[in-house]
Amino acid sequence: MKLITTIIRPDRLPAVKEALFAAGVRGITIARVSGHGGQAGVTEQYRGSQFMVEFHDKIELKIAVSEGFVQPTIDAIVRAARTGNIGDGKIFVQPLERVVRIRTGEQDNEALTPVGA
């Protein structure tokens, strides 16, 4: 089992969500975050004044998957999120030690299976 955490551009969320659903991935947690990577700060102008934008709005997705879904999940995210420009985001894959579905008490891979599957 793995926890896949990804940071993407907000405008790419609909395409990423659609690609994940097409790949059979259902359980997704989404949060609005801000930060910067390679693009760092950018100077912008607003009403005639210059100001530094240090952090950019991003979307963070957390997805817990069984081993068989790791690569299809990564492929779906990359395919849908890539624009080819700085700031497209990152994907982090970490091991998951244990998962418990609170409603049923199912554990590990059984807890990752979509309800009704």
pLDDT tens digits along 70-81: 999 999 999 999
Nearest alpha carbon to residue 23 among 59, 77, 94, 93: 77
Query: Fold for domain 2-98?
Result: Alpha-Beta Plaits (3.30.70)
- The predicted pLDDT at position 117 comes to 47
Crossing angle, helix 13-22 and helix 70-81, to 10 degrees? 150
Rg of the Cα atoms in the chain: 17
- The predicted pLDDT at position 112 comes to 86
**Ranges of the chain with pLDDT below 70:** 38-44, 51, 113-117
- The predicted pLDDT at position 26 comes to 85
Sorted by where each begins, the domain ranges of the chain are 2-98
